[in-house]
């Protein structure tokens, strides 16, 4: 098939936007700094094989597992241009003409807020997409696994606003579905500007499988019907707003409960203290809760979200530094509580001492009592046994490995269970957290402990586990604060 060329819709380059998200990476994997025209074209499979070093595992840049089977590689063309290549599973698109037609539709889009599609390959049973390469990784990394500093409030607002602008642009061009919007779909260019990946504009297969991540985050209509509608994108955008506000991946059902009880301490990242007004926080929470409405027609439009986020970003730029200085600092809080003696339970004391063996004994004896309140209104383990026996087997195997202190196997089976579970089990999260601690995967352990707290806000165990994780990460002040909160919750 001949070369298909579309001229760029952008008449002049967009203004440079200084970013505070990430530091540009000047290593061999970074952007080469060259300027290349955004021309959509067909690539041969051999060209892409060479560009990715034979689809080397070392060039994989995407999340990939059984539930995310299509893999994204970084590559480099003969002219030096860096590219991202998405390789679909074989037979995902048996009809090459349908694949090419959809690729061409996405290839016509050109937005400064997107990592744009620049080509495709349809060769025998191989189906691949080629996009602009973004060298500074994903929102997931910089929001959940940051190394130098947490993402600032203004930057998080910019991510949300640019994503809304990208989605609205696609709507204006007649493409109103975005499949599986999540923090892995937001990328950062060489100067740290957020870009929405174009790969989400095409289904994962001709059969229309649209949602490949944890079903706890899927829109209600997808769970009912197995398909997406334009309003489903708004729902997924709401989950993205939750991620940006909290710095954690909070399941929507639990977030709605926290909205109703005004449990803002869990919903807002503590690292954002003093960076915004109460009014802005409340407004962002309100629009996030509207995005997560069960009935699609009750959700706001992307255009409305774009307008609201634009106003919030302007206000955040005017939020005075003097006000921030007047806000009570975390160091003052720590000083205030430093002299207060902690009354710790045996589990809390074990977390203070990082006595992982005692922590294991206590968690094993506790059983699954903490899950009762979480699942009683939606699902029961008896119901799961009847309808999801295979998934329950994963939990049972995980429990057996946990008892046997085979922590690697425990992680594997608990992870399998949580991918298929219809609701979050705080006990499984707590147990997998300890498994991660035992295998020295401290950041992963902390993430589980925080998610367990979201799932069961009145349960003190997650706070104690967070303390143990923070001690392991050499964050002693934060660890002591978590111990204090756990002790206070237990006393209450």
Using CA atoms, how far residue 300 sits from 170, 195, 311, 418, in Å, is 17, 22, 16, 30
Whether 118 is in a domain gets the answer yes
pLDDT, mean over the chain: 80
The β-bridge relationship of strands 41-42 and 117-123 is parallel
Q: What percent of the chain has pLDDT over 90?
A: 39
Q: How many domains does the chain have?
A: 3
3-state secondary structure of 177: coil
Q: For residues 137 and 272, give the distance between their C-alpha atoms in angstroms, rounded to a whole number.
A: 22
* pLDDT for residue 206: 53
Per residue in 332-345, pLDDT (tens digit) is: 443 333 334 567 78
Assign 30 a pLDDT band (cuts: 50, 70, 90): very low
Q: CA quadruple 407, 408, 410, 414: dihedral positive or negative?
A: positive
Out of 289-303, 307-321, 386-400, 475-489, the most confident range is: 289-303
How far, in Å, CA of 100 to CA of 85, rounded?
15
Mean pLDDT calculated for residue range 208-232: 76
Rounded Cα–Cα distance for residues 60 and 78 (Å): 19
Which two tokens mark 260? 């109703």
pLDDT, mean of residues 260-282: 79
What phi and psi values does residue 73 have, to the nearest 5 degrees?
-115, 150
Burial class (CB in 10 A: 0-12, 13-18, 19+), 347: buried
SS3 call for 428: helix
Domain extent for 307? 137-320
Provide the edge-to-edge strand list for the sheet that holds 82-87: 41-42, 117-123, 126-132, 82-87, 71-76
> Residues 65, 108: one domain?
yes
For the CA atoms of the chain, what is the radius of gyration? 23
Contact 293, 299 (CB under 8 A): yes
Tokens representing 358? 């005692």
pLDDT of residue 309: 93
Residue 113 pLDDT greater than 90, yes or no: yes
127 in the same domain as 144: no
Which residue, 132, 164, 198, sits at the end of a domain?
Answer: 132
% of the chain exceeding 70 in pLDDT:
78
Per-residue model confidence as pLDDT tens digits over 353-375: 888 988 999 888 888 866 655 44
Model pLDDT, residue 105: 95
Tell me the pLDDT tens digit for each residue of 31-72. Answer: 454 567 788 999 999 999 999 999 999 999 886 555 556 789
Indicate which CATH number applies to the domain containing 353: 1.25.40.10
Comparing 332-336, 345-349, 425-429, which segment has the lowest mean pLDDT?
332-336
Confidence of residue 447 (pLDDT cuts 50, 70, 90): confident
On whether residue 334 sits in a domain, the answer given is no
- Do 228 and 206 fall into the same domain? yes
47 within a domain of the structure (yes/no):
yes
Which one-letter DSSP state was computed for residue 194?
A: E
Same domain, 142 and 128: no
Q: Are 187 and 138 in contact (CB under 8 A)?
A: yes
**Tell me, what DSSP letter sits at residue 13?**
P
Phi, psi of 269 (to 5 degrees): -60, 125
Does 170 lie in the same domain as 253?
yes
Q: Is the Cβ–Cβ distance between 283 and 312 less than 8 Å?
A: yes
pLDDT of 421 reads: 72
pLDDT score recorded for residue 256: 79
Weakest mean pLDDT among 173-187, 206-220, 238-252, 387-401: 206-220
Q: Does 262 lie in the same domain as 155?
A: yes
Q: How far is CA 426 from CA 374, 396, 453, in A?
A: 8, 15, 7
Average pLDDT over residues 153-180: 94
User: Of 90-99, 264-273, 380-389, 398-407, which one has max mean pLDDT?
Assistant: 398-407
User: Higher-confidence residue: 132 or 35?
Assistant: 132
Q: What is the pLDDT of residues 453-468, one digit of tens each?
A: 887 888 889 989 998 9
Q: Which residues are catalytic?
A: 180
The lowest-confidence range among 59-63, 116-120, 139-143, 357-361 is 59-63
Q: State the Cα torsion 248-453-417-419 to the nearest 10°.
A: -20
- Residues 176, 300: one domain? yes
* Dihedral over alpha carbons 454, 457, 463, 466 (to 10 degrees): 0
DSSP notation for 349-390: HHHHTT-HHHHHHHHHHHTTGGGHHHHTTT--HHHHHHH-HH
Q: Look at residue 92 in the predicted model and tell me its pLDDT.
A: 79
Same domain as 301, residue 177: yes
Residues in Cβ contact with 360 at an 8 Å cutoff, skipping those fewer than 6 apart: 402, 405, 434, 438
Distance CA(74)–CA(72), nearest Å, equals 7
- Express the helix, strand and coil content of the chain in percent, nearest 5 each: 55, 10, 40
- In this prediction the pTM is 0.63
Across 7-21, 104-118, 216-230, 357-371, least confident range: 7-21
* Interatomic CA distance for residues 396 and 345, integer angstroms: 28
Same domain, 246 and 355: no
Query: β-strand 82-87 against 71-76: which pairing, if any?
Result: antiparallel
> Which pLDDT tens digit goes with each residue over 277-290?
878 888 888 899 99
Poorest-pLDDT segment among 18-32, 47-61, 107-121, 346-360:
18-32
> pLDDT confidence of 193, banded at 50, 70, 90?
very high
* Range name among 19-28, 188-197, 282-291, 459-468 with the lowest pLDDT average: 19-28
Summarize the confidence of residues 373-393 as an average pLDDT.
Answer: 52
Pair (315, 377) in one structural domain = no
């Amino acid at each position: 098939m001949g070369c298909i060329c579309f001229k760029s819709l952008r008449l002049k380059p967009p203004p440079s936007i200084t970013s505070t998200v990430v530091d540009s990476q000047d290593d061999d994997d970074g952007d080469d700094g060259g300027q290349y025209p955004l021309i959509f074209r067909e690539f041969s499979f051999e060209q892409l094989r060479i560009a990715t070093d034979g689809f080397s595992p070392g060039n994989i840049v995407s999340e990939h597992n059984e539930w995310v089977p299509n893999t994204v590689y970084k590559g480099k063309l003969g002219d030096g241009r860096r590219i991202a290549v998405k390789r679909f599973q074989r037979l995902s698109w048996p009809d090459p003409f349908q694949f090419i037609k959809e690729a061409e539709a996405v290839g016509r889009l050109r937005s400064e807020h997107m990592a744009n599609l620049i080509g495709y390959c349809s060769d025998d049973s191989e189906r691949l997409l080629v996009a602009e390469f973004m060298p500074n990784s994903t929102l997931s990394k910089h929001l959940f696994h940051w190394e130098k500093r947490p993402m600032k409030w203004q930057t998080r607002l910019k991510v949300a606003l640019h994503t809304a602008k990208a989605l609205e642009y696609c709507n204006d061009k007649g493409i109103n579905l975005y499949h599986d919007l999540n923090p892995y779909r937001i990328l950062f260019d060489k100067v740290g500007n957020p870009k929405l990946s174009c790969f989400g504009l095409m289904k994962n297969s001709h059969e229309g499988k649209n949602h490949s991540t944890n079903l706890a985050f899927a829109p209600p209509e997808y769970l009912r019907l197995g398909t997406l509608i334009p309003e489903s994108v708004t729902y997924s955008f709401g989950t993205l707003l939750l991620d940006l506000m909290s710095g954690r991946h909070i399941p929507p059902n639990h977030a709605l409960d926290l909205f109703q009880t005004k449990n803002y301490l869990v919903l807002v990242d503590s690292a954002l203290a003093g960076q915004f007004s109460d009014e802005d926080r409340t407004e962002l929470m309100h629009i996030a809760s509207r995005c997560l409405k069960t009935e699609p027609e009750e959700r706001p439009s992307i255009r409305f979200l774009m307008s609201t986020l634009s106003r919030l970003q302007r206000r955040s730029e005017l939020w005075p530094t003097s006000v921030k200085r007047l806000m009570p600092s975390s160091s003052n809080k720590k000083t205030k509580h430093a002299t207060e003696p902690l009354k710790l339970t045996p589990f809390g004391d074990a977390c203070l001492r990082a006595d992982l063996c005692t922590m294991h004994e206590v968690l094993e004896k506790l059983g699954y009592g903490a899950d009762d309140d979480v699942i009683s209104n939606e699902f029961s383990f008896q119901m799961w046994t009847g309808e999801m026996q295979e998934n329950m087997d994963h939990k049972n195997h995980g429990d057996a490995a946990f008892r046997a202190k085979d922590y690697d196997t425990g992680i594997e089976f608990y992870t399998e269970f949580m991918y298929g579970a219809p609701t979050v089990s705080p006990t499984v999260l707590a147990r997998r957290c300890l498994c991660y601690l035992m295998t020295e995967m401290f950041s992963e352990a902390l993430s589980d402990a925080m998610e367990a707290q979201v799932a069961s806000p009145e349960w003190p165990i997650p706070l104690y586990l967070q303390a143990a994780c923070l001690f392991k990460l050499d964050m002693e002040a934060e660890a002591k604060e978590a111990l204090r909160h756990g002790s206070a919750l237990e006393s209450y």
